[in-house]
Structure 1
Amino acid sequence: MPRVALFATCLTDTLFPATARAVVTLLERLGCDVEFPFDQTCCGQMHFNTGYADQAKDLARHFARVFAGYDAVVAPSGSCAGMVRDVHPRLGSPTPDAYELSEFLVDVLEVRDVGAYFPHRVTYHPTCHSLRVLGVGDKPLALLRAVKGLDLVPLPAAEQCCGFGGTFALKNPDTSTAMLTDKMRHVLGTGAEVLTAGDNSCLLHVGGGLSRLRAGVRPVHLAEILASTEEEPWAPATR
């Protein structure tokens, strides 16, 4: 099995460590040797998107040094994996084999049934970078359909952006809020208990809106669903 490095990403490492732990639990269960390089930092996406190309270039070079020598780099974020795969080469940085979690499971490990158990009604939001930069397609849905006990309900207008977009939500708050309102309306219309996605940034944005509405829909990262088993079922993280 491949020697895998976990690229936790800034947001997950800072605010959602349960997601990073879930990735390790899942990959080790599937036979991978998973390591966490402690020198990892930001991939530079925020810097690049706000016009700081030189700083992004330095971070891309650092990323390449930290993750050199691994068979694969796996991230619980289509956004950050997309930055590494799509933008780092344009910044002149050699790129290790970086994957978003679902594409690593389906394309590299060639598994869809990971032995998960999650007895909840779930709807899935496909994040923009996973769709439009990485092209993960229905891989996350294939993984969710194989989860024992999970009731998967389709999300209307699923491919519409949730309005987060990194700094877009800060620079264009009115537009972002309007997009968020549409997304929440569609989520609530499914009757789901859980909203899942492959990026904690989108779950933070949509989940925050749902929380303010006291809607009772919990955002849960895809990795945490896939790591849940009957013997060790998922439980809400406490902070």
Structure 2
Amino acid sequence: MSHASSVAPNATRTAPAIEPPRQYPDKPADVFLFGTCVLDLFFPDAGMDAIRLLEREGIRVHFPQAQSCCGQPAYTSGYTDEARVVARAQLALFAGDWPVVVPSGSCAGMFRHHYFELFKDEPQTLKQVESLAARTFELAEFLLNVCRVQLHDSGAPVKVALHTSCSARREMNTHVHGRALLGQLAAVERVDHDHESECCGFGGAFSVRMPDISGAMVKDKTAALKGSGAAEVVSADCGCLLNINGCFEKQGERLRGEHLASFLLRRTGGHKGD
């Protein structure tokens, strides 16, 4: 792969303004699910749990089998041309008018914000980008603001720490939506932790290019999570979970992070009628 762009990695870019997505006065009957490559490979159960949460709301979930990566790893590494090829394929798959629900704030942010940069010189493609951006929702955001869920907790009392991907926090306000959903669970106490707004060190290709720095960052993150007194860790981003859980395992800790979709489904009794 040749370096096709002089654009610096995403860490040096100014964070985009958070634009509101399309408003849906009524719950849509159909949605697309964009599963993300990390979820598909490492957390498939979380993807199924996201589908179950949506189906429980009476929504038909469509999963285009040809979907792949959102293009973020190539884009944040400066391989703009390669990222554009990947992004173009996703634009074709998720055409139409259905909302696109993404169980990852960072990938949702790629759709909603960074595709505009990728296709800024292609006016015709920008029309597709605008449509996709307006219809893209991170899972917690969709459950909260479109489905308007009212969750009923059926679990035992527990203290939980919420970790939010730093890019999802900046670009999608995912921490706000996650906190709101956890706040609906009567027996769940969300505890704050040091370094809450800081990166866990994953950063996609960053953790490969800068393993020592990444390792130091995730050690700080796991120390803060352990020190919070939380019995469980929840996150809506699988990349972060992969990094944090790997560090916990290396340290011999029993504490593990769980995707928000799986946690919500487990706490609220699964399907209706279960």
Structure 2 length-normalised TM: 0.79
Match of 2:217 among 151, 175, 179: 179
Match of 1:86 among 100, 113, 118: 113
Partner of 2:242: 204
Shift of 1:62: 1.1
Match of 2:173 among 135, 142, 165: 135
Q: How far apart in 2 are the matches of 1:16 and 1:230?
A: 20
Q: How far apart in 2 are the matches of 1:231 and 1:43?
A: 32
Shift of 1:148: 4.2
Partner of 1:19: 46
Q: Which amino acid aligns with 2:207?
A: A
**Larger displacement relative to structure 2 (198-207 or 95-104):** 95-104
Instruction: Encode CA deviations 1:111-157: one digit per residue, 9 max, x unaligned.
Output: 3x333544333110121121111223421011012124323222223
Match of 1:66 among 93, 97, 102: 93
The answer for unaligned runs of 5 or more in structure 1 is: 234-239
Query: What SS class does the counterpart of residue 138 from structure 1 fall into?
Result: helix
Partners of 1:118 and 1:225 within 8 A in 2: no
Q: Which amino acid aligns with 1:8?
A: G
Q: How far apart in 1 are the matches of 2:65 and 2:153?
A: 29
Q: How far apart in 1 are the matches of 2:258 and 2:264?
A: 11
| Shift in CA distance, 31/232, structure 1 to aligned 2, threshold 3 Å | closer
Q: Which amino acid aligns with 1:115?
A: H
Q: Which amino acid aligns with 2:114?
A: V
**Aligned Cα root-mean-square deviation (Å):** 1.7
The answer for unaligned runs of 5 or more in structure 2 is: 1-26, 120-124
Q: Is 1:115 the counterpart of 2:152 in the alignment?
A: yes
| Shift in CA distance, 27/102, structure 1 to aligned 2, threshold 3 Å | same
Structure 1 length-normalised TM: 0.90
Shift of 1:193: 2.2
Aligned residues: 232
Q: How far apart in 2 are the matches of 1:63 and 1:232?
A: 30
Shift of 1:106: 1.8
Q: Is 1:126 the counterpart of 2:126 in the alignment?
A: no
Partner of 1:236: none
Q: Which amino acid aligns with 1:227?
A: L
**Larger displacement relative to structure 2 (142-151 or 13-22):** 142-151
Q: Which amino acid aligns with 1:141?
A: R
Identity over the aligned pairs, expressed in percent? 37
Q: Is 1:34 the counterpart of 2:61 in the alignment?
A: yes
Partner of 1:51: 78
Q: How far apart in 1 are the matches of 2:99 and 2:137?
A: 7
* Regions of 4+ moved over 6 Å: none
Query: What SS class does the counterpart of residue 228 from structure 1 fall into?
Result: helix
Shift of 1:70: 3.9
Shift of 1:4: 0.6
Q: How far apart in 2 are the matches of 1:118 and 1:159?
A: 28
| Shift in CA distance, 137/12, structure 1 to aligned 2, threshold 3 Å | closer
Match of 1:226 among 225, 247, 264: 264
Partners of 2:164 and 2:174 within 8 A in 1: no
Partners of 2:101 and 2:136 within 8 A in 1: yes
Query: What SS class does the counterpart of residue 123 from structure 1 fall into?
Result: strand
Q: How far apart in 1 are the matches of 2:118 and 2:245?
A: 33
* Higher Cα radius of gyration: 2
Q: Is 1:98 the counterpart of 2:136 in the alignment?
A: yes
Shift of 1:186: 0.6
Shift of 1:21: 0.3
Partner of 1:163: 201
Partner of 1:237: none
Partners of 2:241 and 2:257 within 8 A in 1: yes
Partner of 1:216: 254
Shift of 1:43: 0.9
